[in-house]
Amino acid sequence: MARVDLRHRDNADGDWFLSVAGAYACLWKSAAPLRWATLVAPKVGTLHCIDPAEGALNVARRNLASYPNCEFHLAGVDTLPMPDESADFGYSLGVLHHIPDTEAGLKACVAKLKPGAPFLVYLYYAFDNRPAWFRLLWRTTEAGRFLLSRSPYPLRFAASQVIAATIYWPLARLARFAEKRGRNVDAYPLAYYRHRAFYVMRTDALDRFGTRLEKRFTRKQIESMMTAAGLKDISFSDHPPHWCAAGIKR
């Protein structure tokens, strides 16, 4: 049976990572975050990579060409091609908050897991662990995101790269500078990126400002959805990005 260990890796990029052992079939929802697939693919028998965008799937095929155990499926969360109760492990990171019915999407993913199999999910948080001034600061960006996400893709892409260079990178480096001088930077805006490569900032800025539908959830809401989807023994990471949670299918 698969095992999942959600923890903080203390290295150059500080990413959250998965430790998966003994999984035969692993369900991967969305082919976009390749850094996760390259960690998981060597540890499983078969990795099913699923994405509704053909372009993203083609990129995944090229970048995962050295892993013959990867299978690629052009499908949405409502048309997952795997039989129910067939996967030893599954994960969906940064995807389900971009679909109209997140709870239904989560249930569809969990249905593909064998009983006792773990599932890892990352959903945008509703700043429920942040002070009021932080939530207010976020709301000031919403008007810009609303307009930009509805513009033509070339404009969205170009604008997101400018945002990454002029907002993400300076604020992240400011947090890194302050941290080196002994300050607690947990509340600094975009401090999460202080040890991240600029490429991560670019891709996350595009995801944040280039996607029309963006939903956010509190920790309690996510736990409730996971329970309703058939997961138990639910645990949350207390480290950013929030919220990352894992559960076991009943």
Closest C-alpha among 3, 8, 56, 7 to residue 29: 56
User: Which residue blocks in the chain are alpha helix, DSSP H?
Assistant: 34-40, 54-63, 102-111, 132-148, 153-163, 169-180, 198-210, 219-228
Q: 173-181 — which CB contacts under 8 Å span 24+ positions? A: none
Q: What's the CA gap between 41 and 15, in Å, rounded?
A: 17
| Distance from C-alpha of 78 to C-alpha of 107, rounded to nearest angstrom | 10
Q: What is the pLDDT of residue 52?
A: 85
- In sequence order, the 6+-apart residues with CB closer than 8 A to the CB of 158 are none
Sheet of 244-249, strands arranged across? 70-74, 44-51, 23-29, 89-93, 118-122, 244-249, 231-236
Contacts of 214 (CB under 8 A, 6+ apart): 97, 98, 124, 145, 149, 208
Q: Which residues pair with 113 in a beta bridge?
A: 87
CB-based contact 217:226 (threshold 8 Å): no
For 1, half-sphere exposure in the C-beta direction (CA atoms, 13 angstrom radius) is 12
CA distances from 169 to 135, 173, 174, 194, 196 (A): 20, 6, 8, 8, 9
Each residue's pLDDT, cut to its tens digit, for the chain (250 residues) gives: 334 444 433 333 333 334 443 445 566 555 455 667 888 888 888 888 888 888 888 888 898 999 999 888 888 888 888 889 998 888 888 889 999 999 999 999 999 999 999 999 999 999 999 999 999 999 888 888 999 999 999 999 999 999 999 999 999 999 999 999 999 998 899 999 999 999 999 999 998 999 999 999 999 999 999 999 999 999 998 888 899 999 999 9
Q: Identity (one letter) of the amino acid at 62?
A: R
The pLDDT value recorded for residue 34 is 60
pLDDT at site 5? 44
Residue 241 in contact with residue 190, Cβ under 8 Å? Answer: no
| Residue 25 confidence (pLDDT) | 56
Pairing of strands 244-249, 118-122: antiparallel
Question: Is residue 193 packed enough to be buried (19+ CB in 10 Å), middle (13-18) or exposed (0-12)?
Answer: buried
> How is 161-176 classified by DSSP, letter by letter?
HHHIIIIIHHHHHHHH
Report residue 157 CA to chain centroid gap. Answer: 19
Rounded to two decimals, the pTM is 0.84
The reported pLDDT for the residue numbered 121 is 92
